[in-house]
Structure formats: C-alpha cells, structure tokens
Amino acid sequence: MGSPRNSPKNSLSGNPTYGSAVDGAASRPGSPGAATRGERIPSSPDRHHSEVTLRVNGRPRTLVVDHRSVLLDVLREQLGLTGAKKGCDHGQCGACTVLVDGRRVNSCLLPAVAQDGYDITTVEGLAGDDGEERAVDGEERAADGEVRTVDGQERAADGGLHPLQRAFIDRDAFQCGYCTPGQLCSAVGAIAEAEAGHPSHVTDPATPSGQPMPLGPDEIRERLSGNLCRCGAYAHIVRAVEDVIR
C-alpha cells in the first residue's frame, strides 16, 4: 500500500464546515483558504495562529499558520508551491503527496502547525537545489525548442531534473499531469522505503527483513497504489520507476 504516515483520524481538514462547526471561524480572516479568498493572514501568532519554521526544499521558511490549516494549503496558498495538488482532500487519491523528513505523506491530512522543524520536499524540490530557479515562464522554451512539463511548470533544459522526472517524460507516464507531482514524490518515497528494507503487502514473507527489497512490477504497483491516476497512465508509470531502479 502507498502508506503515508498520517491517517484520517489525525486530520484537521481545511474544509470550511469544520471551522464553522467549531466556532464560525471559517468566515474569519486567517481561516483555512483565506489566502485564496484574498484575506489577510496574520503576521504574528495569536490564539488561532502559531509561527512555525518549515524547511521546504532545503530552505527554511518561517511563517504564521492557522492551527486548522493543513500542510497542502500552506504550501500552495502561503508559500506559492502549487506542485502538490488537491484532488480528494480526504487522503484517498495521493495527488497531494509530499515528503516529510523523507517519508511520503498525504499533505491534505497533515496539520501544518505540527510540522515545525521538519524537512518538507515537494515536487519543486526534486530537481535539485536550483530547481526553483530553473523554472521559466510560459514564454520561454528550452534551447532545442522543446517544452517539457512534469509538474505544471516548464523547465529550460533537463539537466536539473530528478531521474524519475526524466523517466516519466521518457516513458510518457502522464497525460493531464494532475496526479504527476504526487506520483513522483510517492515513487521517491517508495524507492527509499524498499532500499531501507520495508516490506509491502506483496513482499514474499521469506524475504529477509531489513535488507533492501527488490522492486519488480508487482511491488511498484502495490507501493504506488495510494496514488490514483484518472488518466490511467499506470502502466507507463511502472515502467518509468523500473527505469530508475535498474
């Protein structure tokens, strides 16, 4: 199973219903989604907000977050990192997958205030230290005239791409691309889990524990089963991951 460390019972959803059921806070400035509604997010902590420092893609980012905001909303709305996508907002599709201290999580379920001090890696950080700086606007193209899209951003040249991003392009492992940032982060996490010897539901029980697990197609399918693709690019995604682990 794709196994983010959080579970629905730990969730504080950004769903406005939650806030209004508690104290009507959904209509209050600084409530979840406030940034996208053009409301002001308080710049200093108060009863409903705290200052946190998240190390996002290698850079410390200190900001004030609403206690009810989930990591996905903070990344997208306060930090402008729109690679991670909101699909179901219920921990069921994997579109929001990012890495927290190297482990994959459903960021739509994770309270941002609880991530103080953690390392967060989003799809924008997979390409390397200079990944963000490599992003170019829609007017520009790579030197060979080709536009390559992995995470909704166009990147000049492919020198900084993560091997999985390169493999997804080579294997045509996406169509609309909505699920792709989550698939990429999940695949990075799954490969690390296998290398660390974590078994999956389909791992042969005779496999020695604690040893790196070989990843065949069945293992890849199982370990990425928490990431849905409505375009049905699954077969190509498996081949792309196989390319990287060979």
**Interface positions with ligand FES (CB under 6 A):** 86-89, 91-96, 106, 108, 174-180, 229-231, 233
Helix 163-170 / helix 180-195 crossing angle, nearest 10 deg: 120
Give residue 187's Cα distance to chain centre. 11
CA angle 171, 175, 79 (to 5 degrees): 105
User: CB of 130: closest distance to ligand FES in angstroms?
Assistant: 26
Minimum distance between the CB of residue 90 and ligand FES, rounded to whole angstroms? 6
Residues 6+ apart with CB under 8 A from 114: none
- Closer residue to ligand FES in complex, CB, 33/177: 177
Nearer to ligand FES, 179 or 224 (CB): 179
| Comparison of 71 and 191: residue with beta carbon closer to ligand FES | 71
Runs of H (alpha helix) within 94-209: 123-126, 131-134, 163-170, 180-195
Shortest distance, position 67 Cβ to ligand FES, whole Å: 19
By C-beta, is 22 or 231 nearer to ligand FES? 231
Q: How far is the CB of 106 from ligand FES (least distance, A)?
A: 4
Nearer to ligand FES among residue 94 and residue 125 (C-beta): 94
Alpha-carbon distance of 4 to 29, in angstroms, equals: 31
* Least distance CB 226 / ligand FES (angstroms): 8
We find the least distance from the C-beta atom of residue 6 to ligand FES, in angstroms, to be: 10
Distance of CA 228 to the CA centre of its chain: 13
DSSP 8-class letter at 78: I
Which lies closer to ligand FES via its Cβ, residue 20 or residue 92?
A: 92
Beta strands in the chain (DSSP E): 49-56, 59-66, 97-100, 103-106, 119-121, 135-136, 154-155
Helix 180-195 vs helix 234-245: crossing angle, to nearest 10:
40
Nearest approach, Cβ of residue 175 and ligand FES (Å): 4
Q: Are 64 and 74 in contact (CB under 8 A)?
A: no
Ramachandran angles phi, psi of 128, nearest 5°: 115, 180
